[in-house]
Structure 1
Amino acid sequence: MSEIKEIQEALLKFRDDRDWKQFHDSKNLATAISIEAGELNELFLWKDTVNCEDVKPERLKEELADVFSFAFLLAEKHGLDVKEIILDKIKKNDEKYPVEKAKGTAKKYTDL
């Protein structure tokens, strides 16, 4: 069993033990990702670029875990293979951002 499948199964057990599946429709899962991403952003709010790396590791782990958890649940709900969709996206981004044009720049692919 892949590590991602193991994580998804643990999340599903946690959810199902609490009878929360009824609340995990696509809209609510996507909204939860957005809310948790906002809480992740809050860790860096009002910090300048020098101090923005100075975040409490425990808080960072907790907020990232929340984002990943809801994302994995949403992927599972729609029968998506997390590894596959991420690798597919990397391939698409590799085509949009070829190394010879994108290396060292933060420009969008349309501006390269």
Structure 2
Amino acid sequence: NRFGCAAVQWAAAAGNVSTLRWLQAKGLDLSHVNGATHGAVMKAAWKGHDEALRWLLLDDDGPRLTAQLVLRDPQGRSVAQLAAMNEMDATAAWLAPLVEQAEGTLGR
């Protein structure tokens, strides 16, 4: 699309962990970020796909995309703030300490 989304963003936005695993097995770069600074983590968070987020961020067999926790959208909003903005409050609350930790570790 015009923002530069790839299959990883679409699978994350759908919360489809099996497709994300398949894409990873095929060698696709799951860390792809589009022109709006949206990666798989932001797309899954916006829709409240907690299972996909756990796989993308924490699972041993996942891509561990913790670097995406420090990304900001063009308006300066974090992934947790975007989840809250879309009324995914439980997801936002779960993400907020992870974002804070990543910012401390990765030096935002």
**Is this a same-fold pair by TM over 0.5?**
no
Q: Which has the larger Rg?
A: 1
Larger RCO (CA under 8 A, 6+ residues apart): 1
Name the structure where helix makes up a greater proportion of residues.
1
